[in-house]
Amino acid sequence: MLSGLPCAAPASDATGLDAEWFRQEGVWEGLASRLAGLRRLICALDLGELAERTGIDLAVAGGVYFEIERRLSIDALRQRIAQGEADFWQERARTNLEDELGALGAALTAAALASEADPERLKAMVPKTVVERWAGSHGAAMERYDRLMDELAALETPGFPMLTVALGELRELARCPSALPAAAPSPH
């Protein structure tokens, strides 16, 4: 099941930072990189279920998933959620936000995949194209989310209310029906 995922999962700044943290904790280089990469495999079960439910190839679903993460700066949002000191209740809130962000990855991927009406055409599309078409069909919602992410990036330590709003924007994107026109029927 996982054979299509490693090549679909690009190396990211967040994964590099994770590996660096492991190295600073005394974990040797090879193991530090592998441990940092395991976070990427958390999505494997969700993607496997999505691929099975939709009949879409796991490699296609994985490629779209990781492109969604790139386009929506999910790693940056994940880092912002993990940032700062927290008391007991703040740590519980942080854990809930992290869990919700993980679930939203699969929901956003499903929305992007569903925006392409022809599964055969979807197989031939580059994940970046699928995500660009999906994002383009949600102009106002994407603009609002991008502005919010710019505001988050400008803050030293964002508060939980702002992070909660960011996840709310992602939930809205996952629920929005796509405004893409239906694909033209095949001439066969």
Phi-psi category of residue 140: left, alpha or beta, with phi > 0 → left and psi -120 to 50 → alpha: alpha
Cα torsion angle, 17, 19, 25, 26, sign? negative
Owning domain of residue 72: 2-175
Q: Does residue 184 lie within any of the structural domains?
A: no
Q: State whether residue 82 is helix, strand or coil.
A: helix
Model pLDDT for residues 121-160, shown as the tens digit of each residue: 888 889 999 999 999 999 999 999 999 999 999 998 888 8
The Cα 95–Cα 34 span in angstroms is 23
> What are the Cα distances from residue 44, in Å, to 2, 12, 99, 107, 183?
7, 17, 15, 13, 29
Q: Does residue 188 sit within a domain?
A: no
Please report which confidence band the pLDDT of residue 11 belongs to, taking 50, 70 and 90 as the band edges.
Answer: very low
Judge whether 182 lies within some domain.
Answer: no
In this structure, is residue 187 part of a structural domain? no
Q: How far is CA 178 from the centre of its chain?
A: 18
Model confidence at 79: pLDDT above 90: no
- On whether the CB atoms of residues 82 and 149 are closer than 8 A, the answer is no
What local confidence, expressed as pLDDT, does residue 184 receive? 37
Say how many CA atoms lie within 13 Å of 94 toward its Cβ.
16
Domain contains 181: no
What was the pLDDT predicted at 176? 76
In a domain, 107, yes or no: yes
pLDDT tens for 32-54 read 888 877 766 778 888 889 888 88
User: Is residue 117 situated within a structural domain?
Assistant: yes
Is-contact 15 23, C-beta < 8 A? no
Total domains in the chain come to: 1
Full-model pTM: 0.78
pLDDT at 12 over 60: no
